[in-house]
Structure 1
Amino acid sequence: MAEYLSPGVYIEEIDAGPRPIAGVSTSTAGMAGVTVRGPYTGKPKLVTNFLEFQNTFGGFLPEPDALIRDTWANDPKEGGRWWLFPLAVKGFFDNGGQRLYVKRVASRQATPASGVLGHGLVSPVARDAAKGATRLELGHLIGFSGVGQQIQLFRGDDQQVIHTAAVAAYDATAHRVELDAGLTAEVRAGRGDYVQIGARSAEETLEFTAVSPGSWGGAVQVRIQPMASAALPVLPDPQEGALFVTQLAADAAADSETVEVAAVAGLDPDDLPPDVWVQIGTGRFKVQVGQPADGKVTLTLPSGAAHEAWRRGLVVRRVRRGNTSAGPTLRVGGASRLYEGAVVQLDDGTHLTIRTVVAIAADLVTFDADVPGTLFETDRLHLVEAQVDARFADPSGAVVTESHPNLRLTGDAPANLVTTLAGRSQLVRAVALGALSTDPAKFPVPAVGSWLTLADGDDAYGGLSVADFVGEDGGSGKRTGIAALEDIDEVAVCAVPGVWSGTVESALVTHCELLRDRFAILDPQDGLDIEGVQAFREPFDTKYAALYHPWLVTRDPSTNRDVEVPPSGHMAGIYARVDVERGVHKAPANAVIRGIRLTDGIAQDITKRHQDLLNPKGINALRFFPGMGHRVWGARTLSSDSSWKYINVRRLFLYLEESIDEGTQWVVFEPNDEALWALVRQTVTNFLTTVWRSGALAGTTPDEAFFVACDRTTMTEDDLAGGRLICVIGVAPVFPAEFVIFRIQQKTRETQLA
């Protein structure tokens, strides 16, 4: 009850009446089958078109080896042609399906492709360079030591040495080096050319594994390289004093040892430390500062300093040192970007130095060793982290690429390489091995080149069994095979296309009967005659499944030839199409079958005489009619109970039950009295009235179409004491016009006159 304790205006929200029930979706399908690749663990994945299926699970499967193929295809009881699964998925979308949850099935003996990295220092060429060029753009300069360092250039295709040279100059930010000698051959980035410093080691640092089992992983390549994830400015030592900026007061000849600058505040030798450095043009010089005179100050450069001629007005700027005495500390702008254990590269313009962060206090950073005394406030500190690139070339020619920057090789931070790939990569996983180090000179690299190609993945189709399709129930998110479809409540139609194994199809039927919110589409063995398909149907008696015969003929885009495919995928698409266009109450029959060959699109010709034998058994025929095309010509379940003879009736009740179940959850724990019963009656009545108006229920009035009872007549005192609210609902479904009969009588002229 609301409390009113002080005078004022109170606004309250009250329920306006019964809560509406929203009808659940009936067009979402779920399938389990063998795919080229894709997630094997976890919940089934949603795909909304065939391109998305190809991107996630790969393209079409080739026929397995003859022995494996014949073992499965020639087994009438526990066999199947599971390699046709992608074609069945294509048939689903060709026929109007929009949402499909796919659970990949793989042999328990299947293994993922993998590869191990050693360590060394490699940087890929980032841009082509012509023969004779001295400038080279690389992927990074992390781990380089600077001017004078010897490097080797290798061809990426045959790993042959192209050129050996020394670094004459570099730009760490632009990843560019100037060589002391022109290239003796052209360098090409697209060929995979790279720079290597020193020798590689076979000590194992990282193991990369394809994200799921199968031979597909042999087309996965991985590259890991260091990257500068942040460039932070070095701050001046507080003892360096004030900054000054002035300009040349007169022209200066090339290589002159003195220059005159305008006197400005802060440019007084009495206020400056003994060592003063300035930036003039592109050069940095240590100078002696003279006393100001006549508004000018003379700066004396070191003896022998080389420079170009300078013009009056050129800016002269003091650059302050980052540290005035040797030690392991340095003030850094944006130091909060760093962390303990972070590896950094210090750049003073001629030397690159690696250090590890030990402690951070505001902008004061302590390293594991003394920092160079040649660092100035214009220099940069680069935070060294890792970037993993992975690529996969699909047999169809499509290339999947992904990049994961700003990773840490060690530690348990969220940005840890192993953790990040486990959560984000669609291609690979990683495991750290014993020789993994944060030293950029010992960065993980393959034995040759800069890309690691994974190997030794095995589909193990010879070990694939019906148990892999049935799956295991390891709990939510850990189920496999058919059992995994339980994780997706939205699934309303399910199938295992191409597998006619009695064990598998019985498991699929049991799955639907236990959950009571979905319907199964079964496939018979291919090539069965009328007697054969009748015998195949005999073991089943369920109102939760339907069987279609015969198989269909479609074009396999991967081989450009016609193949026979199971009908369940196409039929699931037709179910979805009819549900969207007409409603679940409309029988999924007399509908055109799409995505098959225009002529002879059905593997066997079914005549009316044949169907006279099949229809009473609940075997739905797929037939060709001149002028009407290939059509579904049956709408029966596999139930012996005539009340559940028709597919649309069974699925209509599944729709009603699931919708009412989800739409009345608010009732739980409400006071179980007449007021609640009235709300429940009105809620269900409103929903069923909407269903009736859509044409799903028989009758010219709502009273003829359904009734809803929830009162003392449906519950006893024992029910109330036990916390049970019982609502009794009756509906009159619309049955399909399966037999359309016109009785025609011949009338004579005399009869008409009489």
Structure 2
Amino acid sequence: MTFVPKSPGVYFREIPSGARTIVGASTSIAAFVGGFPRGPLDTPLRMFGQADFGNAFGGLNSDYPTSFAVSQFFLNGGGQAYGVRVSPDATAALLVMNDTSNQPTLRATAGRQVGGVSLDDPGEWGDAIRIDVDTITPDPTTQFNLTVSEVLDEDGIEVAQRTEVYRNLTLTAGPRNALDVVNGASTIVQLSRDAGWAANGLPTPTGFYSGAITLGDLAGITAANDIDVDLGAGSETVSVPFASPPTTLAEAASGLQAGLRAAFPADRLWAQLTVSVVGDRLRIVPGRASPDYDPGTVISIADNVSDLASRLAIDAAARANVEQYAPSNTAAAFQSTATAGSDGAANAAADLRGDRATRTGFYALDDVRGFNMLSIPEASELGSVANLASVMSAAATYCTEKRAMLFIDPPEDTDTIEEAEDWLGQIADAGLRTPNTVTYYPLVHLPDPGSENRPRPFAPSGTMAGVWARTDRQTGVWKAPAGIAARLTNVIALDHVMTDQENGVINPLGMNALRNFDIPGNVSWGARTLVGADLLASDWKYIPVRRMALFIESSLYDGLQWAVFQPNDEPLWNEMRGAVTAFMQGLFRQGAFQGASPRDAYIVKCDSETTTQADINAGIVNLFVGFAPLRPAEFVIVSIQLQISQDA
């Protein structure tokens, strides 16, 4: 737009340079779909390493082969991945806490918030949830503290492996509303309330609480007192000596704690109990690092032969609750519901495939911006090629749409080259030979922590996805992820140690070999797609060539969005041509193409020859990009000539 000055002076105009930068798309984001011990269902979660994997999906688990694929991806050099948990029959652990009138007031369900939405996190892992409640707050009538733990059983003793503490929560609207605070931060539970619970009070504090105590009550305590302690499984008579009557609640708490602790063996939970002061009450909480600890235990204390219990207001208005709220508790005291979690049954083909309309199965990946590799290890365990194909045919179409590669793993009983050939023929008949599909043979043996690290066979896709990512980082997507540098980390052995002759059988068929050599160890020794069979003579025979094309397509798709709805004429064509040429020249300088000069390596054309007037009238601009790919040196031929000495 022309600028017309209205008065004398100095004016500045910022003029766009017209230069557009195209940034290379990611090439090594992996996606894994299958069963995990924990995690929201049909919801993609992003991971950047083993720690994220543990927090999101529970880490390695012997019952879930997909967990080993994810772990192998990171161990072999992968940096970013998405996981989708599929387990339609799994149920979430939950519990309901009651107020002091024994009316339900707060529900805690195993889960987390993803994208601002509270989601269940089903599975047996939720049975390890423990919740403590107390009212040691500035206003005990409206505020409470919540401590949420996930415990681990170590030799019969519960040990908290992670704990979340939320203080000064309320059940009313405001900045400390319990549902808003906990649901937005917790990775263990999500809180909820039913409509009819609105008028109910705060959740009852856990442990044992005395009634209100006055200083006059303390003055009547005698030097030696007996008190009955009921742990639910029997009653003990305990002597609680006081050298002199306590003068403060703190002294009463200290004396009671000392007497109770001394009466029991050191390894029992009562020997580790704590007596504290909460307002005008005493709170008694047994120790938890003990083999006889049970979060559902409801303790009670009663007078025996002295007036100690009544003096400490234990009989009058005392409140005995569960030691901790837990899904494993049977409904007792002030917990009205206890529902254990369930892992559900093994996934079927329909579960892994899912449905696009509801974004389940691998279609849940519609919710992520992009991925480059897809692994579904459980598909190879479905019992037949027909079941495998029912998942993988849809997955292959999906990956073509998403410009991603799909790993197809052989089943566990593929033990010989003949069986591998037969299986490869069956998946070919099922239509799974596409430019975006790839397979590796044999299976890899990995240490299983669930069986004292004894090796077990697993699908190779997770390992190879990591090798691909490592190769991309070290060299580029144009480099074949194979050779002595493509070592397989954490692979103890291969299911089948191939000879060169056996390798020569499957390689021309488009199946990639995993080999063992004396010095480099276990390595990837093939770089063909499933259309890489020699008889097919496909342009997409090699993995790096296909992935390079997908990389360029994805980069230009993202980098040319600015051109949509621009005037379709020479200025636009020049800008597009300049941006794409700069991008391709950058790749050429990195050694991504064949050719000694840019002219030999690539071509970019966008002008009146590619875009005719008819195209312009139809709103179309045509850009032509060609490149000379680097193909891997599969066969290195060395010719040796015997030189005859002239002196002979």
Contact 2:105/2:202, CA 8 A, preserved across alignment: no
SS across alignment from 2:103: strand
Q: Which residue of structure 1 aligns with residue 487 of structure 2?
A: 593
Give runs of aligned pairs for residues 103-182 of structure 1, distance below 5 A.
Answer: 103-106=84-87, 108-120=88-100
- 584 and 452 in structure 1: CA distance in 2 versus 1, 3 angstrom threshold: same
Give the letter aligned to residue 31 of structure 1. Answer: F
- 1:350-369 → structure 2 map (5 Å cutoff): none
C-alpha distance in 1 between matches for 2:24 and 2:182: 40
What is the rounded CA distance, in whole Å, between the counterparts of 2:153 and 2:445 in structure 1?
24
3-state DSSP of counterpart to 1:459: coil
5+ residue gaps, structure 2, are 112-120, 208-295, 299-320, 329-338, 381-387
1:417 aligns with 2:211: no
Distance across 2 between alignment mates of 1:119 and 1:731: 71
Displacement after TM superposition at 1:404 (Å): 2.6
| Aligned partners of 1:410 and 1:438 also within 8 Å | no
Question: Equivalent residues in 2 for 1:591-630 (5 A)?
Answer: 591-598=485-492, 601-630=493-522
Structure 2 vs 1, CA of residues 41 and 225 (structure 1 numbering), >3 Å: closer, same or farther?
farther
Identity percentage of aligned residues: 34
List aligned pairs for 1:303-322, cutoff 5 A.
none
Q: Residues 226 and 621 of structure 1: is their aligned pair in 2 closer, same or farther, counting only changes over 3 Å?
A: same
- 1:695 is displaced (CA, Å) by 0.9
Corresponding position of 1:222 = 131
Aligned equivalent of 2:23: 22
Structure 1 residue matching 2:451: 3-state secondary structure:
coil
What does residue 567 of structure 1 align with? 460
Which of residues 57, 68, 74 in structure 2 aligns to 1:93? 74
Q: Which residue of structure 2 aligns with residue 427 of structure 1? A: 188
The CA deviation string for residues 643-676 of structure 1, in whole angstroms up to 9 with x for no partner, is 0000000000111111111111111121111111
Give the CA deviation at 1:464: 3.0
User: Is 1:210–1:454's contact at 8 Å kept on the other side of the alignment?
Assistant: no
Tell me: CA distance 1:224–1:4, structure 2 relative to 1, closer, same or farther (3 Å): farther
Q: CA deviation at 1:597?
A: 4.6
Does the alignment pair 1:469 with 2:352?
yes
For 1:401, the equivalent position in structure 2 comes to 163
| Structure that is richer in helix per residue | 2
Cα deviation, 1:87-141, whole Å, max 9, x if unaligned, reads 22221111111111111121x2211111122222xxxxxxxxxxxxxxxxxxxxx
Q: Give runs of aligned pairs for residues 345-744 of structure 1, distance below 5 A.
A: 384-394=142-152, 399-411=161-173, 413=174, 415-433=176-194, 434=196, 437=199, 439=201, 448-455=321-328, 456-462=339-345, 464-474=347-357, 479-500=359-380, 501-515=388-402, 517-528=403-414, 529-538=416-425, 539=427, 540-560=432-452, 561-590=454-483, 591-598=485-492, 601-639=493-531, 640-744=536-640
Q: Secondary structure at the match of 1:644?
A: coil
**Shift of residue 441 of structure 1?**
9.1
- Asked whether the 8 Å contact 1:422–1:429 carries over to 2, the reply is yes
Cα distance change on mapping 1:442 and 1:614 into 2, 3 Å = closer
Q: CA deviation at 1:471?
A: 2.2
Cα shift at 1:594: 3.4
Query: Which secondary structure does the structure 2 equivalent of 1:26 belong to?
Result: coil
Structure 2 CA distance, aligned partners of 1:573 and 1:40? 24
Native 8 Å contact 1:216 1:457 kept in 2: no
Cα gap change, 1:514 to 1:597, in 2 (>3 Å): closer
Q: Note the 1:241-256 alignment, pairs <5 A.
A: none
1:608 to partner: Cα distance: 1.1
* Contact 2:588/2:601, CA 8 A, preserved across alignment: yes
1:213 aligns to what?
Answer: 122
Matched letter for residue 429 of structure 1: Q
Distance 1:2 1:426 in 2: 57
The answer (yes or no) to whether the contact 1:386–1:409 under 8 Å persists in 2 is no
Q: Which has the higher strand share?
A: 1
1:55-70 matches, cutoff 5 A: 55-63=55-63
Mapped pair 1:203 → 2:97: no
| Separation in structure 2 between the aligned mates of residue 441 and residue 497 of structure 1, nearest angstrom | 44
Kindly provide the CA deviation profile for residues 259-304 of structure 1, in whole angstroms up to 9, marking residues without a partner as x.
Answer: xxxxxxxxxxxxxxxxxxxxxxxxxxxxxxxxxxxxxxxxxxxxxx
CA distance in 2, matches of 1:458, 1:563: 28
Could you tell me whether the CA contact under 8 Å between 2:32 and 2:66 is conserved in 1? Answer: no
The alpha-carbon deviation at position 509 of structure 1 amounts to 1.4
Label 1:659 to 1:626 Cα distance change in 2 as closer, same or farther (>3 A): same
Secondary structure class of the residue paired with 1:605:
coil
Other structure's SS at 2:379 match: coil
Contact 2:105 2:201 in 1 (8 A): no
Determine if contact 1:214/1:458 at 8 Å carries over to the other structure.
Answer: yes
- How far the C-alpha of 1:225 sits from its partner, in A, is 3.3
Q: Compared with structure 1, are the counterparts of its residues 619 and 687 closer, same or farther at alpha carbon in structure 2 (3 Å cutoff)?
A: same
**Alpha-carbon distance change, 596 to 531 in structure 1, aligned in 2, over 3 angstroms:** same
The one-letter code matched in structure 1 to 2:576 is V
Aligned to 2:229: none
Instruction: Report deviation, 1:732.
Output: 0.6
The TM-score normalised by the length of structure 2 is: 0.72
1:11-50 pair list within 5 angstroms: 11-42=12-43, 44-50=44-50
Q: Please state whether the residue corresponding to 2:575 is helix, strand or coil.
A: helix
User: Aligned pair count?
Assistant: 493
User: For 1:589, what is the secondary structure of its paired residue?
Assistant: coil
Supply the distance in 1 between the matched residues of 2:32 and 2:201 (Cα, whole angstroms). 48
Q: What SS does structure 2 have at the residue aligned with 1:451? A: coil
Q: Specify whether residues 392 and 24 from structure 1 end up closer, same or farther in structure 2 by C-alpha distance, changes over 3 A only.
A: same
Amino acid at match of 2:502: H
- Sort the Cα spacing of 1:498 and 1:623 in 2 relative to 1 into closer, same or farther, 3 A: farther
Which structure: larger Rg?
1
Q: Using the alignment, how far apart are the partners of 2:89 and 2:65 within structure 1? A: 21
C-alpha spacing 1:89/1:548, structure 2 compared with 1 (3 Å): same
Q: Post-superposition shift, 1:86?
A: 1.7
> Does the Cα contact within 8 Å between 1:437 and 1:443 map onto a contact in 2?
no
SS at match of 1:671: coil
RMSD: 2.5
Residues 435 and 530, structure 2, Cα contact 8 Å, conserved in 1: yes
Q: Deviations over 1:27-72 (max 9, x none)?
A: 2211112111122254x11211112211221132233xxxxxxxxx
Alpha-carbon spacing, 1:690–1:49, altered in 2? closer, same or farther (3 Å):
same
Render the CA deviation track for 1:672-700: whole Å, top value 9, x for unaligned.
11111111111111111111111111111
Tell me the secondary structure at the aligned position of residue 631 of structure 1.
Answer: strand
Report if the CA contact (8 A) 2:488-2:523 is conserved: no
Unaligned residue ranges in structure 1 (runs of 5+): 64-82, 121-200, 230-343, 346-353, 355-383
- Secondary structure of residue in 1 paired with 2:503: helix
| Closer, same or farther: CA 541–439 of 1 in aligned 2, 3 Å | closer
AA in 2 matched with 1:422: N
Structure 1 residue 544, shift from structure 2 partner: 0.4
Write the letter of the residue equivalent to 2:368. I
Separation in 2, partners of 1:217, 1:45? 19
Q: TM-score, normalised by structure 1?
A: 0.62
Letter in 1 for 2:490: I
1:204–1:436 contact (8 Å) kept in structure 2: no
**How many Å apart are 1:706 and its aligned residue?**
0.9
Which letter maps to 1:587?
A
